[in-house]
Amino acid sequence: MFDLERWQEIFETIRKNKLRTFLTGLSVASGIFILVILLGFGQGIRNGIAYEFEEDAATSVWVWPGVTTKEFKGLNPGRRIQLRNENFDNWVAMNSDHIEYDGARNFVRGVSVTYGNEALVYGVQGVNDDFQFIENAKMSMGRFINYSDLVDNAKVVVIGEKIRKDVFNELESPLGAYIDISGIPFKIIGVYQEREDREEERLYIPLSAAQQVFNGGDRLNNMAFTLPPAANFDQAVAEAVAFKDQLHQYLSQIHTIAPDDTSALRVWSALEEAKRYYSLTNNIKLFFWFVGICTIIAGVVGVSNIMLIVVKERTREIGIRKALGAKPWEIVGMILHEAIFVTAISGFLGLIFSMGLLELVGPHVEVDYVKNPSVNLNVALATVFVLILAGTLAGFFPAWRAANIQVINALRDE
């Protein structure tokens, strides 16, 4: 039941001890504020990592050839490994049940690119029809390279959105226009979008055309694959690691590479890398929880100390109340009310300021691997209620001490 006199006593006590109450509340509020900000920053790191890995397909496995650094089976180090079409085709044929999309790429070098009289400085790459899905490229106009283009060695090209903006008028559609690559006209059939401008500075042409028209032979610069979705994240990681290891072993045997020669062939799994980062963020999050909870404990200890001082200051008053018939639970309630009030108000103020700061600043944070720091409201509220419970316990022991003060000793207190 609402007791007006009890609340009047609480506010009167606070009014008489403004500085002490303010400092106590500040320690509690700062504890919640620091905890929420730290948790928000931890979530921001996790969001940033997820965003970075979304640049390409989440289950992608990539292969890049390098140079051998170790002698193996009579072959000297320093050999440059060259991937070829048959490496790609054979692996896809052997693992068709375990592959969702497969992509091969050839970098077309030493060519000039022009549109009309304007020279362009964008890279040209020969790719197959699945490459769009591996790169997570979104088509804003037209279409991507398809199977027929590969079979027919079609002279078609897909350009990035940045190229469209740089070369063409904003109101002009590039579809159907021709770009000359070393004097050979390629018809623009589509415009793709990526998250970063640098990813949109590429001209994609059919892999077959890149190899045959520009003397690429059967050479590939890299290969990429995506795996079908798995039941859960851990299973997906396990399947990606197994696929990666088998692919590395297969290519090492084909090209006579020492098993421990890490420079000759690099096979990279997005899921495996993501797991490492997520494990790191989990450890960071645990550390943030530890720091935040320690800060809150410091604030709760401060509340307990202040309540002990309050009890000491009001010992004579408590003795008079008990002499007039006040019950022990009434004395306990009187002390607890003040402790709970200070803790609750301070906790919610800390929560409001921290959540407000994250809402205002979070969406504008543009730091590598940190994106939109935020915290779940339910978690934050639960933290405040746990803090209030802790404040209740912190005030209980001083209140219990006050309830057990002997009346004679209390009345003698100066």
- 257-281 pLDDT, tens digit per residue, is 998 898 999 999 888 877 777 777 7
Give the end of a domain, one of 228, 244, 271.
271
Q: Ramachandran region of residue 68, left (φ > 0), alpha (ψ -120 to 50) or beta? A: beta
Answer whether 95's CB lies under 8 Å from 226's CB. Answer: no
Please state which of the ranges 59-73, 170-184, 223-237, 312-326 shows the lowest mean pLDDT.
312-326
Both 201 and 225 in one domain: the answer is yes
Higher pLDDT among residues 210 and 196, named by residue: 210
Q: Is the pLDDT of residue 410 over 60?
A: no
Q: Could you read off the pLDDT of 296-328 as tens digits, one per residue?
A: 777 777 767 766 666 666 666 666 766 767 676
Q: Is the pLDDT of residue 184 over 80?
A: yes
pTM, two decimal places: 0.67
Give me the DSSP letters along 343-362.
Answer: HHHHHHHHHHHHHHHHHHHG
Answer whether 74's CB lies under 8 Å from 208's CB. Answer: no
Both 257 and 122 in one domain: the answer is yes
**Type of residue found at 23:** L
Which residue shows structure tokens 């559609």? 173
Both 120 and 265 in one domain: the answer is yes
Both 23 and 96 in one domain: the answer is no
What's the domain count of the chain? 2
Both 225 and 298 in one domain: the answer is no
Q: By residue range, what is the domain housing residue 152? A: 60-271
In angstroms, the CA 319 to CA 325 distance is 10
98 alpha-carbon distance from chain centroid:
28
Both 218 and 95 in one domain: the answer is yes
**Type of residue found at 57:** A
SS3 366: strand
What number of CA atoms fall less than 13 Å from residue 259's CA on the CB side? 3
Answer whether 174's CB lies under 8 Å from 190's CB. Answer: no
Q: Ramachandran region of residue 384, left (φ > 0), alpha (ψ -120 to 50) or beta? A: alpha
In angstroms, the CA 37 to CA 50 distance is 20
Average pLDDT value over all residues in the chain: 83
pLDDT computed for residue 1 by the predictor: 45
Both 267 and 286 in one domain: the answer is no
Both 216 and 263 in one domain: the answer is yes
Answer whether 281's CB lies under 8 Å from 42's CB. Answer: yes
Give the end of a domain, one of 224, 243, 271.
271
Both 346 and 296 in one domain: the answer is yes
Q: Is the pLDDT of residue 118 over 70?
A: yes
Both 231 and 354 in one domain: the answer is no
Answer whether 226's CB lies under 8 Å from 60's CB. Answer: yes
Q: Is the pLDDT of residue 56 over 60?
A: no
Both 314 and 387 in one domain: the answer is yes
Q: Is the pLDDT of residue 203 over 90?
A: yes
In angstroms, the CA 69 to CA 76 distance is 8
Residue 110 DSSP symbol: S
Answer whether 28's CB lies under 8 Å from 353's CB. Answer: no
Give the end of a domain, one of 271, 292, 313.
271
Residue 184 main-chain phi, psi, to 5 deg? -100, 125
Residue 62 main-chain phi, psi, to 5 deg? -115, 150
Both 288 and 267 in one domain: the answer is no
